[in-house]
Structure formats: C-alpha cells, structure tokens
C-alpha cells in the first residue's frame, strides 16, 4: 500500500515559511535565535529526506541506493532534531549548565551517537530497516531503539523545563512543552498506521507555535538594532545568577546619546545604532567569542560573555573602545561616539539582577573619560544592598538614634584660634557601618526625608550652642548646611525661626551654608528664604565655591558673608595657571568685601601658602577632622586655651 505524502508536503511548507519569516525578520542573532534556526533547518532537512524516501517507496520497484540514502538520512536527522530541540528548550530556561563538563556532555550526546552508529551498521547488516527485493520498506528489530532515543530526549527536556518553569511565562511554557505530546501521539499514530506518516507534520505545528509565541521579534528583539532587548537581558542575567554561573558583562553606554539624536535626527540616529550594533556583533564573531549582545535603549549596549571567555573581557572591551573612538561619519562629517565602557563580573562584583540594572543605568551619567572602567573599582558589592535599602536605613536611624552631629573646627588666621565650626551629619548602621553623606543625603533628598534630617541637625546644633560646654569654648557661631531641596521649601524660614526661638539661640550664633550648585538655581522660593533669614540677622556662607555653576554677578547679588573655596583650590602648586586662578579668585572675593575660608587644607605647606594670600579662615585635616561633640570640645580647648 502506498504511503500518503500530503502531511510531509504540508510540514515542508510550514517549515519553509517559518524559516523565511525568521530570515526576513532578522531573527538570526543571539544564542537562542541561532539554536532555533538550527532546529528548524534540521527539521526541514529531515522532512525533505522523508519525502524522498516515501516517493521511492511508492514507485514499487527496488532502488536500493536511493532508498537507503533517503531513509537513513531521514532517521539520522529525525533523531538529531529531537536532540537539538531538547538542547534548545533547556537553553531557553538557561539550564544547559546541568550538562556542562566532558562526562555529562558525552552522556547527553551518547543516544544520538549510538543511533548514528546503528544506522551506519544498518547499511551493511539491516537491523533498523531493510529494503526487500520488490522495493518494500520494512522495519527491523532495532528501529524501536530510535524511537526510544527520541522519547528519552523528550523526557529530559520536559523534566528540565518543568523544574525551571518559573523562568518562563505561562504562554511560553505551554508553547515549549506542547510539541512533546504532539510528537508522541504522532509517533504512535505512525506505528499503528505506517502508510500515513504524520510525525514531521506534528513537529512543524509545534515549532510554528514556538515561532509565533516565543521567537517573535517583539518578545526578544530590539527593533532599533536587531539585538536582544532589555527583557531578554534581564531574564538572561537573572537565570545565569540563579544558576550560580560566572559571566562577564561589558556595559557600553553612549554618554552623548541625546545629543546625537538631536544633532542628526531620528532616522539617521537609528542608522547609527544599527551600524554600531553590526560592528559590535562582527567584532565578537571575529574573535570567536561566545557572546550575547543586547540593546536596552537610550544608547545602552550590553555584551554577556560566557564563563569560558569571561577572562578575555578586558581585551575585548579595549578593542571595542578603540573601534568606537573612530566615530561615525554623517554627511562627510565625523561624529564622535562618547562611550562609557565598564566591565562587570557577576556574581563577583554584582550578584543580583536589580543591582545590575541600576548600576548599568548610572553608567550613562558618569563623566566620559575614554578609559575602560571596572565595577569592582566603582562600587563594593555590599553597597548595592545598602543603596537599595537606604530609605529603611534612614527611617530606622531616627527611631534608633543612629544619627549623630560631628563638628569640624574652623581656624581664624586673624584671631589665631578656632572661632567657629561646621556641623556635619554622620549616620551609623549596624550592618553597613558608617554610611557616607554623599550616599544617604541624595537618597534623603529624593524621598523627602531631607527636611526631617535638616530639622534634626539644626536642633542638635541649637542644643549644643545653648549648652555650658559651648559657652566655655568662646566660639562665635556654628555653620549648618542647607541642601538644595531644603532651600526650595516654602517652610524653611519658619522652621529655622521656630527651632532657634525654642532654644533661645541668637542669629549671630548661627551661620547657614548653601552650596554653589544650590546658589546657581536662584529660584524664587530659595531667594525669599535667604532674604527672610538674612533680615533676621542670620549670616550665609557660599559652600564649595569653584565646583558649581555660579558666577561672580550672582554671588554679588546674594547676601553672603563668607565664601568657602573648595578643596580643589589647594592644588594650586600643581601648575602656574591654577595659582593664578586662586589669586584672582581671592582678589575678586576681597573686592566684594566678603570673608574667605579655604576648605580641605591638609598640609603645613598649604596652610602657609593660603595664609600668605590673605584668606580669613582655614578648615581641613591640617587642624582637625570632623569630630563627635565631646572630642570636638577637647580639641577646641587644646588649641584655644594654650
């Protein structure tokens, strides 16, 4: 009885259409896409061999070579198809590490190798199938071994997928495993009714669902670059870390991404992204590195390097850096590509996907240096948990009394003694130890807790000012810092007055500091606050002068009594130009009848230089670091009462 071919024809058409779709949609980049493409091609080849085998069987005459060739080819690729699909679904849940290692790899490949060996032997001693004298195809006793092999692979794939099913959405999980029962049912059908071969058709239906629901571009591909998208990046990083594997991530962020988009327009910008992505992929391929590329949007490219080549990340990153520095040509004009590149090792540097994403996002905001950066040098691993939990840490610090005000004495050159001090907040956490202000202050500003912190510092300072200990020291005033967010609060002036009145602190005993960056805002509410408090007799200092965006005109228009030169001015010995800047700055401030304080003085040489330049006050480690209140009192007594 002749076998029907229409199921195989249908399977061939389905496979061909999926293959054309994959190629046209450029779903050929990335590990998963390549594996799916291989599974598809092998299934298409198996179907072609099956069509040839059935066609010759239906002739009714013996064509020994052709029949053995097509039947053997079909069976080899059929078994290979089952093995490759199993590897594909295991890779999809990122569990292929289970079979890493020489022994495990051999065990996984052994059933396929035995089937191939058996089919080679079958060419000489028919044990799997035979061709009769009349051209009749017949199954032999070892044919069952091929079915058992395919069944073993399906069981392995099913067990692994179900074990790691949480890594797949419900839709993806159903799409992946539905091919298993389809093929099993089709295999039984074909055993019972051999004249109706439906196995490859069932296989094609299963792969069609995978292509539509999993391998679709919107699920995994960035339209702008053709690389894997942010969703796939997060899934892959999460799965790798969950498996306890080691990888290297090369993070590439175009610092001038927004400027590029505005300069060359959206259409050309997308051409640029495609050009950059093509270059990056080509570089990985030329080195034959096992890499996976991603585009997260906003000029952020990522490369995950397999643990086997992760130690070569430094060399590869250097090559990428050199290539990107060549720029991009647009209308005959060379456009610079300013890319921050950072090498991150997981889990050595960062051990969770949230921290990886947060760290990578910050990369675009860092100043461009043109040098390769390393995550291990930028953040300690424990800082990720710290940053993540800052809101809770700040809240508990108030409850448990872990905020403390330190004081750094300020030396008056004219009085030759300490005449004031700057109040500085310190936060101690039982788990993380002392948390730096540059870490917790921005978090407090973001959450709004900065207002509560500001009131706490001012209240602690006022308590100290009215204490007997302070009165014994003979200090004129204490300086208290105000953040930008505090200055922009309409309640600032009333809050300061209320606390000062409660403790009966006079306006002469308090000096409020605002940074140059804050002064640059010159926002209406801020100016009203400064003017109101200044009318009450409170003096203001401009802190960190030389780091922000203020100009001399703005400084002259605001009621500052003291200008504090940033510690960068202490580097004037490094070159003559810096010395001229320092001298001119001091001269201009003097001409405005403002007093001058220099921060960050650490050496006797620096102290003598600024003394010679005629500044009023010195603050820095040369005299004392910030101290808790009791030690501060002792230090001031030591200097002032000698």
Q: Are residues 329 and 235 in the same domain?
A: yes
Integer Cα distance of 134 and 60 in angstroms = 7
CATH number at residue 332: 3.30.70.270
pLDDT more than 90, % of the chain: 27
Integer Cα distance of 260 and 445 in angstroms = 31
Count up the domains in the chain and report the number. 3
566 pLDDT higher than 60: yes
pLDDT on residue 62: 78
CATH number at residue 560: 3.20.20.450
Integer Cα distance of 452 and 480 in angstroms = 14
- 627 in any annotated domain: yes
Q: Are residues 300 and 426 in the same domain?
A: no
**Both tokens assigned to 637:** 């007594």
pLDDT band at 1 (very low <50, low <70, confident <90, very high): low
- 392 in any annotated domain: no
Closest CA to 544 of 457, 604, 619: 619
Alpha helices in 98-224 (DSSP H): 102-122, 143-163, 170-177, 179-192, 199-213, 217-220
Q: Are residues 437 and 381 in the same domain?
A: no
Per DSSP, the chain holds a count of helices (H) and strands (E) of 27, 19
Angle at 482 between CA 481 and CA 487, to 5 degrees: 165
- 395 in any annotated domain: no
Q: Are residues 163 and 39 in the same domain?
A: yes
Nearest 5°: phi and psi at 422?
-105, 130
- 476 in any annotated domain: yes
Mean pLDDT value across residues 159-178? 80
Q: Which residues contact 596 (CB under 8 A, 6 or more apart)?
A: 562, 563, 565, 586, 589, 590, 614, 615, 616, 617
Which position has the higher pLDDT, 321 or 582?
Answer: 321
Bridge partners for 333 per DSSP: 330
- 1 in any annotated domain: no
Asked if 396 contacts 410 with a C-beta cutoff of 8 angstroms, the reply is: no
Q: Which residues contact 403 (CB under 8 A, 6 or more apart)?
A: 397, 425, 426, 427, 453, 456
- 189 in any annotated domain: yes
pLDDT on residue 174: 81
Mean pLDDT value across residues 39-47? 93
pLDDT on residue 97: 72
642 pLDDT higher than 80: no
Stretch (H or E) spanning 587: helix 576-591
Q: Are residues 113 and 211 in the same domain?
A: yes
Residue 184 CA from chain centroid, whole number? 43
Q: DSSP string covering 453-510, please? A: HHHHHHHHHHHHHTSHHHHHHT--EEEEEE-HHHHT-TTHHHHHHHHHHHHT--GGGE
**Both tokens assigned to 463:** 């308590």
Integer Cα distance of 458 and 479 in angstroms = 10
pLDDT tens-digit profile of 335-353?
A: 888 899 999 988 888 888 8
Question: What is the SS3 assignment for 541-571?
Answer: EEEEECCCCCCHHHHHHCCEEEEEECHHHHH
Integer Cα distance of 54 and 154 in angstroms = 26
Q: Are residues 514 and 381 in the same domain?
A: no
Q: Are residues 54 and 118 in the same domain?
A: yes
Least confident range from 16-30, 110-124, 257-271, 486-500: namely 16-30
Q: Which residues contact 96 (CB under 8 A, 6 or more apart)?
A: 87, 90
Last residue of a domain, one of 217, 245, 276: 217
pLDDT more than 70, % of the chain: 92
Last residue of a domain, one of 157, 189, 217: 217
Distances (CA, A) of 563 to 112, 153, 398, 530, 591: 79, 76, 32, 15, 12
Count of CB atoms within 10 A of residue 582's CB? 22
pLDDT band at 380 (very low <50, low <70, confident <90, very high): low
Q: Are residues 209 and 243 in the same domain?
A: no
573 pLDDT higher than 70: no
pLDDT band at 548 (very low <50, low <70, confident <90, very high): very low
Closest CA to 622 of 608, 632, 633: 608
pLDDT on residue 520: 55
Residue that the structure tokens 């074990």 belong to: 163
Q: Which residues contact 638 (CB under 8 A, 6 or more apart)?
A: none
Question: What is the SS3 assignment for 311-353?
Answer: HHHHHHHHHHHHHHCCCEEECCEEECCCEEEEEEEECCCCCCH
Alpha helices in 332-415 (DSSP H): 353-363, 375-378, 381-388, 390-400
pLDDT band at 379 (very low <50, low <70, confident <90, very high): low
34 pLDDT higher than 90: no
Which position has the higher pLDDT, 515 or 359?
Answer: 359
Q: Are residues 100 and 149 in the same domain?
A: yes
Angle subtended by helix axes 257-287 and 313-324, to nearest 10:
130
Stretch (H or E) spanning 513: strand 510-515
Q: Cis peptide leading into 334, omega within 30 of 0?
A: no
pLDDT band at 52 (very low <50, low <70, confident <90, very high): very high
Residue that the structure tokens 């059908």 belong to: 189
- 90 in any annotated domain: yes
Kindly calculate the radius of gyration of the chain based on its CA atoms and give it in whole angstroms.
36
Angle subtended by helix axes 64-92 and 170-177, to nearest 10:
160
171 pLDDT higher than 90: no
**Both tokens assigned to 180:** 């298993």
Q: Are residues 52 and 173 in the same domain?
A: yes
Query: What is the 8-class DSSP label of residue 436?
Result: P
Closest CA to 151 of 106, 192, 116, 199: 199
* Average per-residue pLDDT for the chain: 85
549 pLDDT higher than 50: no
371 pLDDT higher than 60: yes
Mean pLDDT value across residues 545-566? 71
Last residue of a domain, one of 356, 385, 414: 385
DSSP β-ladder status, 403-412 and 617-618: antiparallel
- 76 in any annotated domain: yes
* Residue numbers of the domain that contains 232: 222-385
Least confident range from 67-76, 176-185, 540-549, 613-622: namely 540-549
Q: Are residues 212 and 228 in the same domain?
A: no
pLDDT tens-digit profile of 266-315?
A: 888 888 898 999 899 888 888 777 788 999 988 999 999 876 666 788 88
Q: Are residues 204 and 265 in the same domain?
A: no
């Amino acid at each position: 009885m002749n076998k029907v071919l229409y199921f195989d024809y249908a399977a061939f058409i389905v496979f061909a259409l999926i293959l054309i779709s994959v190629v046209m949609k450029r779903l050929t980049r990335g590990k998963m896409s390549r594996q799916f493409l291989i599974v598809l091609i092998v299934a298409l080849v198996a179907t072609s061999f099956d069509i040839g085998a059935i066609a010759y069987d239906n002739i009714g005459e013996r064509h020994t070579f052709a029949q053995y060739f097509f039947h053997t080819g079909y069976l080899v690729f059929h078994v290979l198809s089952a093995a490759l699909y199993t590897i594909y679904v295991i890779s999809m849940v990122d569990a292929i590490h289970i079979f890493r290692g020489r022994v495990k790899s051999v065990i996984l490949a052994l059933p396929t190798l035995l089937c191939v060996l058996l089919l080679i032997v079958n060419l000489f001693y028919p044990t799997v199938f035979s061709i009769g004298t009349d051209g009749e195809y017949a199954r032999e006793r070892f044919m069952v071994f091929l079915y058992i092999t395919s069944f073993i692979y399906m069981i392995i794939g099913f067990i692994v997928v179900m074990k790691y099913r949480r890594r797949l959405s419900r839709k993806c999980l159903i799409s992946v495993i539905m091919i298993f029962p389809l093929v099993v049912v089709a295999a039984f059908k074909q055993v019972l009714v051999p004249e109706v071969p439906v196995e490859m058709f069932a296989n094609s239906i299963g792969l069609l669902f995978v292509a539509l629901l999993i391998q679709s571009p919107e699920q995994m591909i960035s339209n702008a670059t053709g690389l894997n998208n942010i969703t796939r990046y997060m899934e892959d990083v999460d799965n790798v870390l969950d498996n306890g594997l080691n990888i290297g991530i090369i993070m590439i962020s175009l610092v001038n991404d927004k400027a590029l988009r505005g300069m060359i327009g959206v259409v050309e910008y997308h051409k640029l992204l495609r050009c950059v992505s093509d270059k990056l992929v080509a570089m990985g391929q030329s080195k034959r590195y096992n890499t996976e590329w991603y585009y997260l949007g906003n000029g952020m490219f990522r490369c995950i390097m397999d643990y086997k080549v992760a130690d070569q990340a430094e060399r590869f990153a250097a090559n990428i850096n050199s290539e990107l520095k060549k720029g991009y040509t647009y209308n005959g004009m060379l456009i610079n590509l300013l890319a921050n590149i950072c090498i991150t090792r997981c889990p050595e540097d960062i051990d969770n996907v949230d921290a990886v994403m947060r760290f990578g996002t910050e990369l675009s905001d860092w100043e461009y240096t043109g040098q390769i950066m390393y995550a291990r040098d930028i953040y300690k691993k424990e800082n990720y948990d710290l940053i993540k939990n800052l809101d809770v840490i700040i809240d508990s610090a108030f409850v448990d009394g872990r905020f403390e005000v330190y004081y750094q004495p300020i030396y008056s050159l004219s009085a030759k003694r300490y005449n004031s001090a700057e109040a500085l907040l310190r936060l101690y956490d039982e788990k993380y130890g002392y948390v730096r202000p540059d870490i917790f202050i921005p978090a407090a500003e973001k959450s709004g807790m900065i207002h509560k912190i500001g009131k706490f510092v001012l209240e602690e300072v006022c308590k100290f000012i009215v204490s007997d200990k302070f009165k014994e020291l003979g200090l004129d005033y204490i300086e208290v810092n105000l953040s930008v967010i505090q200055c922009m609060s309409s309640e600032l002036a009333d809050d300061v007055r209320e606390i000062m009145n409660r403790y009966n602190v006079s306006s002469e005993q308090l000096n409020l500091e605002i940074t140059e960056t804050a002064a640059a805002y010159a926002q209406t509410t801020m100016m009203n606050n400064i003017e109101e408090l200044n009318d009450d007799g409170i003096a203001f200092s401009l802190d960190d002068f030389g780091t922000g965006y203020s100009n001399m005109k703005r400084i002259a228009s605001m009621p500052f009594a003291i200008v504090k030169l940033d510690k960068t001015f202490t580097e004037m010995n490094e070159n003559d130009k810096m010395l001229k800047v320092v001298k001119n700055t001091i001269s201009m401030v003097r001409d405005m009848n403002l007093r001058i304080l220099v921060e960050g003085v650490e050496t006797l040489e620096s102290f003598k230089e600024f003394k010679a330049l005629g500044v009023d006050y010195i603050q820095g480690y040369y005299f004392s670091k910030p101290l808790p209140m009791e030690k501060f009192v002792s230090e001031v007594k030591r200097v002032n009462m000698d």
